[in-house]
């Protein structure tokens, strides 16, 4: 039933026109304010989690300067959001007007939750930018902590809100 609805509504893989790859034509779409929020998390060992926690709770860590991991991951996420059209082949070039990342320590499952928000005033949505920001921020946390834990897992990357 869902399939028949699909067929009736002519929903299609957007990057293919008559079966041919292309960057979708948005020339005649009106510009409007676009917003998207995405999230994801990176799970790690208790030991690794505890070291990260020290850096954010003001307890002295022998290993980490306060805030550095999340500062670096924030910068990486922001820069990645701007690079989205270079990374995702069929994404349009857009000038983002806002990028923000948040990190939260989840004690119970030894994980860092990452949340991003992107905005622009363009003719196409910014969900890929928000998802890319979260993904690269998570990879950066992995890179910063991999000397302690190589078995971290990045998961639950998804779009949580999209408005225009």
Q: Which residues are catalytic?
A: 143
Q: Does 105 bind a copy of itself (CB under 8 A)?
A: no
Region label for 117, one of left (φ > 0), alpha (ψ between -120 and 50) or beta (otherwise): beta
Q: Does 26 bind a copy of itself (CB under 8 A)?
A: yes
Token pair listed for 17: 């026109």
- What character string, x for contact with a copy of itself (CB under 8 A) and - otherwise, covers 37-76? ---x----xxx--xx----------xxxxxxxx-xx-xxx
Taking the least distance from each CB to a copy of itself, the nearer of 5 and 108 is 5
SS3 59: coil
- Find the binder of a copy of itself among 33, 104, 109, 163 (CB under 8 A): 33
Rounded-to-integer distance, Cα 17 and Cα 3, Å:
20
- Find the binder of a copy of itself among 37, 80, 111, 114 (CB under 8 A): 80
Burial of 80 (0-12, 13-18, 19+ CB in 10 A): buried
């Amino acid at each position: 039933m869902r399939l028949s609805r699909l067929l009736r509504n002519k929903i299609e893989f957007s990057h293919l026109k008559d079966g041919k790859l292309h960057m979708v034509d948005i020339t005649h779409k009106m510009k409007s304010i676009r917003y998207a929020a995405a999230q994801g998390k990176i799970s790690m060992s208790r030991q690794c989690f505890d070291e990260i926690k020290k850096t954010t709770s003001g307890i002295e860590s022998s290993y980490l300067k306060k805030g550095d991991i999340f500062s670096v991951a924030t910068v990486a996420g922001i820069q990645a959001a701007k690079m989205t059209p270079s990374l995702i082949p069929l994404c349009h070039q857009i000038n983002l007007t806002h990028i923000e990342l948040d990190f939260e320590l989840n004690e119970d499952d030894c994980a860092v939750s990452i949340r991003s928000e992107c905005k622009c005033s363009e003719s196409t949505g910014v969900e890929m930018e928000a998802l890319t920001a979260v993904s690269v921020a998570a990879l950066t946390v992995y890179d910063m902590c991999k000397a302690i834990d190589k078995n971290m897992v990045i998961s639950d990357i998804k779009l949580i809100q999209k408005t225009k």
